[in-house]
Amino acid sequence: MGIIRGQRSTTRLASLWRAYGTELVLLGAIGGVLILFSRFAPGMLTSNNLVTILRQMSFIAIAALGTTFIIISGRIDLSIGSTITVASTTMALLVTRHGVPSGVALVLPLLIGMTVGMANGFLTTKARVTPVIATLGMLVALDGAAKLIVGGETINGLPKVVTYLGSSKLGPVPVSVFVMLLVWFGVEFTLRKTSFGRYCYHIGSNEQAALLNGIAVDRYVTWFFMVAGALSGLAALILVGRLRSANVNIGVGLELQAIAVVVIGGGSLFGGKGTATGTVLAVALMAVINSGMRLSSINVYWQTAVTGALIVVAVSIDAMRRRRDRS
Amino acid sequence: METAPLLEALRIVKNYPGVLALDKVEFSLERGEIHALLGENGAGKSTLVKILTGAEQPDEGEVLIDGDVVDISTPRKAQENGVAVIHQDVSLGLVPQLSVGENIFLGREPKCWPARIDWVALYSQAEEFLQRLKFNPEFLREPVGSLSLGEQQVVAVAKALSLNAQIFIMDEPTASLNSHETEVLFNTMRALSGDGVGIVYISHRLEEVLSCAHRVTVLRDGRMVGTVAVGTGVGPEEERTVAAQQSQIVRMMVGHDLAEKHPRSQPTPGPPALGLETVSGAGGRFSDVTMTVHEGETVGIYGITGCGSRELARSLFGLEPIQSGEVTILGESKSIRSPRDAISAGIAFISDDRSRDGLIGGRSVRENITAPILKSLTALGVIRSQQEVAVSRKHVSDLNIRTPTIDQLVRHLSGGNQQKVVFAKWLSSQARVFLFNEPTRGIDVAAKAEIYRLINNLKSNGAAILIVSSELPEVLGVCDRVLVMRRGSIVMELDPRATETTQARVFDIASSG
Amino acid sequence: MISGRSPKGDKRANQRAGALLQSLVRRGQLIWLMVAVAVVAMSLISPHFLTVENLFTNVLRQSAVIGIVSVGMTLVIATRGFDLSVGSNIALSSSIMALLLTESGATVLEGVLVALAIGAAIGLTNGVLVAKVRVPPFIATLGMLSIARGFALVFAGTTPVDLLPQSLLDLGRGKVGFLPIPVLLLAGTWLVAAYLLKHTRFGRYALAIGSNEEGARLSGIKVDSYKIAHYLVLGVLAAAAGVVLTGRLGAAQATMAVGLEFQAIAAVVVGGTSLFGGEAKLGGSVGGAILVGVLRNGLLLRSVDTNWINIIIGVAMVASVAFDGLRRFRRKGLS
């Protein structure tokens, strides 16, 4: 006779809610914001604008999808922005001034990102530096490195092959949106259906237990950082493509947005929670809000404040939810 | 003229779901008395302590202090009524970076002006308290973190004293102390009792208890078995009395529990599955352990707290380092330095702390069951869902795990069912050697029987089982062979079926020396 | 006192140097040695470094600003906390102050009070988020970094607000005797903080909370209230540092002080205070701030990119934290 203590209801509806609740709320919020702004902002709901929103979303969504792994595993990565900066400026410089072939240049940002990820992974696992400090240090180091590489210059004249991903279209839809969809699908699939993804959740939920189940935690965490780095590189490629140039201001402040978006999308900073879809929907929500604010001529600096406020709210909800679960 | 006892607990009843933890327990403490509370694990000692310190409420019964019924429904109120508790883990209440004096008065520092702390007053008063405890006040200004555990204990005692505690409850305080520190602690306790303070001393260690207590109360299975006054005189007459008291107490503690409650199936021992050859752990917790467990047999290791058996089990699973010696699994010598090594060698580990040691509460039953073998259920990294579901369902039904679906979060299951999920996990990993560390701690009676049945099943399927347990009836009832461990070494092997292997004798072997 | 540099009485100088070095290391005040080394290095690199004018006008003034923040940051770090919002705090409080002074005709006193109030509000919010809502400190303050910076940009845009009243400029540029005012303010802050840490509950409890928060709570300390107070004080100190900085620069800008939090944290960490809480080495933090100031100034004079310094600071910070972590775990053993 097993006594079931405090059993939550497991009706179909309830388990659906637990699995998809955040995503549904976000969808609703997106719809709501769209409708709200359509009253005040001219041209909000035009297909042109929606395509623009999608295109602007794509690069941060890709970076955030990488961050999703890190946050699910219970860590944090504050160096995403600077990784993008270094990846884009290095690649741009090498392609335009040092005759590196475009084919190689396409792969370069991803390689740079992966290297940064590997360094982050090493610092947090073998050197036992807490992820906050390790990636914060990396942020500064990379930022400085980028400034050393290009100074205040903006590098232009990038070959079409390199800018393809960011600025071309396939029919009415920008290529970058396709890339985003691909990455979204890839990450979602990995998280749900592969052992790599499953281990990510396990490590984030209860690292000690994961160890006891024979999971090589250190190795996987390093992989997570490398994936996040690689995806940052990809995002850099797209961004450079769209701007058709690269400079040191490119990735500024991105890490906060990426973290915000993962958390708003259902991720928990304590680890063990988060989904690819939630992340992407959260990016969409922010993009829609930004678009709406811009079109209704609201001071664009409110965005920064709003992002910060949103992340604080999301994390507060997460903290309170966690306390409730524990007690 | 009769004065009321300092502390009295009358007809205390406490129920937890499925378990009657305390059954009309009565307990009294006089001023200046050191009253020991003895009992095996699960006897109800910690529950009684929780009630006396305000951490839990009794379902029936009342607590009187100095003859008056008191409300000790919260730890704060217990403190206000003069009850202080010194935990086993003394670092709970002390701040390592601040000095001894500061720790004693933490939160209640004497002040000069509105803002400035009066250091002179603080340290002189702290010195007084330490002197009352006959403790050297030279450490007064040292950070507490730099003191040894024993010294930290004394600081915790001084702090409680400064809170005007009249009743000290000391919960296994000597668990992590060496003999010298223990002596220091006993001197402190004697000083306290000389001052009129009453001490409730909870311990496993009979010999320690006998050396400092005035009375001993024994709990067993939630009932108070009896109270014995302990003499502390010298001379042959007294010695015989002490010896007699000791056996009386032991009898009270272990009782005549029915071995039928823990059915043991016939062993069918095959080749050796787990072999240890002079294995010693780093840190000296256990040394020179040599033993063998065959396929199809259950070997139990019994010992009291601190004997090293727990560390031995953990080391065999790679959780703690092995310093020397050889470990053989299924005939092959293996180096086990991490749980991964152990799992790939075919070892499973089931501990007393489910949530910490391998069960991921926030994930589903199915994910937990397949956690160690996930790789084998994947093709190119992709999990084969159907296979996973099949494996999980099979184990859930085989082990009769009560859960609405295999996707139910493990933390919503009852304790017994959670333990079964742990079993299922290891069964799915096809381990051949099972290490159990206190497998039925904190589990209700009905689920215990099921777990023993599962253990027997494992055995009949040819698994080699090593059970580390401090529950004597369990060890004697379930195991085919019993090894007694004391202070890091295996001191004797016993046959639980032999008539001279009584619980009293085993307990004796485990605790004396 | 660097052996090899003193020409006379070599042996005795070496001995004294050795003894001094040992006592510095023992007392965990290696930072001053590092400052000395940095000063020497910078003066070798740039001939203009070691002039009185440079030292007092640039190095010390800039270090003082970072130093004031570092002192407050030491307190928060002692409680095992963290505050990434101080830079944005400065931007917001100083921008609002500057706007009030130039556009609303407020007096300097009123302006400074408003700045301090804004700093307090930011600190209060941080404290409440960390203590009551239990948001991890770096996220709470990271969010606040964004919020405060955002508000600063909203209210002040990106253009500098200058033409500030002279008395404000004096705060940043003036002197008393030969000591620059910012240095005096730093010294005063240091003294007050040291007193608080040694002799008041406010300070002692900060250490207690960082050392064993649960134990402090069990002893009846109102942990939440104290934590909020600590963040509040840091907020006010940051705003004060901002006022001094604005005075010195002659203008306030919503984009000012970007990354200052990082310099302050680095100063604290390199100065020897552990991020794990429970200790507060104020002298080290001040030394660290001076070190940062020295490095920046020296390299700037040489037209070296400040970003190299950022890299060095980043590396030093990570190394200090790693070193500190190892020190802790080695002492505790495997627990």
The segment(s) of chain B belonging to CATH 3.40.50.300 are 1-46+55-64+203-255, 257-346+433-444+460-513
Query: How far is the C-alpha of C296 from the C-alpha of B179, rounded, in Å?
Result: 58
Mutation site for B-interface testing, chosen from A3, A203, A217, A270 by largest number of B Cβ within 10 Å: A3
Buried residues in B141-178 as b, exposed as e (16+ CB within 10 A): eebbbebebbbbbbbbbbbbbbbebbbbbbbbbbebbe
State the amino acid at position B122 in one-letter form.
Answer: L
Order of strands across the sheet with B167-171?
B83-86, B167-171, B198-203, B34-38, B215-220, B223-229
Chain C residue with minimum CA distance to A136: C314
Who has greater pLDDT, C51 or A12?
C51
Chain B residue with minimum CA distance to C277: B97
Phi, psi of C273 (to 5 degrees): -80, 135
Report whether pLDDT(C208) > 90: yes
- Lowest mean per-residue pLDDT among C61-65, C253-257, C321-325: C321-325
Torsion of CA A102, A105, A110, A111, to 10 degrees: 130
Mind listing the domains of chain C with CATH numbers? 31-329 (1.10.3470)
pLDDT band at C12 (very low <50, low <70, confident <90, very high): low
Q: Which CATH superfamily is domain B257-346+433-444+460-513 in?
A: P-loop containing nucleotide triphosphate hydrolases (3.40.50.300)
- Rounded average pLDDT over A285-296: 84
Q: Is the CB of residue B50 less than 8 Å from the CB of residue B229?
A: no
Report whether pLDDT(C79) > 90: yes
Contacting chains of A (3 CB pairs or more, <8 Å) are B, C
Kindly report the nearest CA distance between residue A184 and chain B, in angstroms: 17
pLDDT band at B236 (very low <50, low <70, confident <90, very high): low
Share of chain A above pLDDT 70, in %: 93
Highest mean pLDDT among A207-216, B177-186, B192-201, C189-198: C189-198
- Write down the H helix ranges in B280-384: 309-316, 339-345, 365-369
Residues from chain A that touch B425, judged by Cβ atoms under 8 A, are 213
Residues from chain B that touch C280, judged by Cβ atoms under 8 A, are none
pLDDT for res A325: 66
Task: Read off the tokens for A238.
Answer: 């797209």
- Rounded average pLDDT over B1-20: 77
Kindly report the nearest CA distance between residue B452 and chain A, in angstroms: 15
Report whether pLDDT(A126) > 50: yes
What own/partner pairs with CB < 8 Å and gap ≥ 24 does B239-247 have? B242/B210, B245/B210, B246/B206, B246/B210, B247/B504
Who has greater pLDDT, C331 or B30?
B30
Highest mean pLDDT among A48-57, A176-185, A256-265, B144-153: A176-185
**Is residue A132 classed exposed, middle or buried when 0-12, 13-18 and 19+ CB atoms within 10 A define those classes?**
buried
How far does Cα A314 stand from its chain's mean position? Answer: 16
Q: Is the Cβ pair A212, B319 closer than 8 Å? A: yes
Please, which residues bridge with residue B65 across strands? B7, B68
Residue A4 near chain B (CB below 8 Å): yes
| A127-156 residues touching C, CB cutoff 8 A | 127-130, 132-134, 136-141, 143-145, 147-148, 151
Phi, psi of B203 (to 5 degrees): -160, 165
The fold of the B1-46+55-64+203-255 domain, in CATH, is Rossmann fold (3.40.50)
Mutation site for B-interface testing, chosen from A190, A196, A201, A212 by largest number of B Cβ within 10 Å: A212
State the amino acid at position A54 in one-letter form.
Answer: L
- pLDDT (tens digit per residue) in B407-450: 888 888 877 788 788 888 888 888 889 999 887 766 666 667 77
**Cut 0.90: pTM above it:** no
- Rounded average pLDDT over B257-267: 56
Residue B345 near chain A (CB below 8 Å): no
Q: Is the Cβ pair B381, A195 closer than 8 Å? A: yes
Residue A201 near chain B (CB below 8 Å): yes
Report whether pLDDT(B90) > 80: no
Residues from chain B that touch C216, judged by Cβ atoms under 8 A, are 95, 106-107
Q: Where are the domains of chain A?
A: 44-326
Residues from chain B that touch A199, judged by Cβ atoms under 8 A, are 374
State the amino acid at position A204 in one-letter form.
Answer: G
pLDDT for res A182: 94
CB count, 10 Å around CB of A316? 18
CATH of domain A44-326: 1.10.3470.10
Residues from chain A that touch C275, judged by Cβ atoms under 8 A, are 130, 133
Residue A252 near chain C (CB below 8 Å): no
Please, what's the largest Cα pairwise distance for chain C?
A: 66
- Write down the H helix ranges in B213-265: 236-254
Q: Is the Cβ pair C204, B102 closer than 8 Å? A: yes
Share of chain A above pLDDT 90, in %: 33
pLDDT for res A7: 42
Q: How many helices (H) and strands (E) does chain A have?
A: 13, 2
Average pLDDT value over all residues in chain C: 83
pLDDT for res C7: 47
Q: Is the Cβ pair A212, B349 closer than 8 Å? A: yes
Task: Read off the tokens for C83.
Answer: 């505050």
pLDDT for res B441: 67
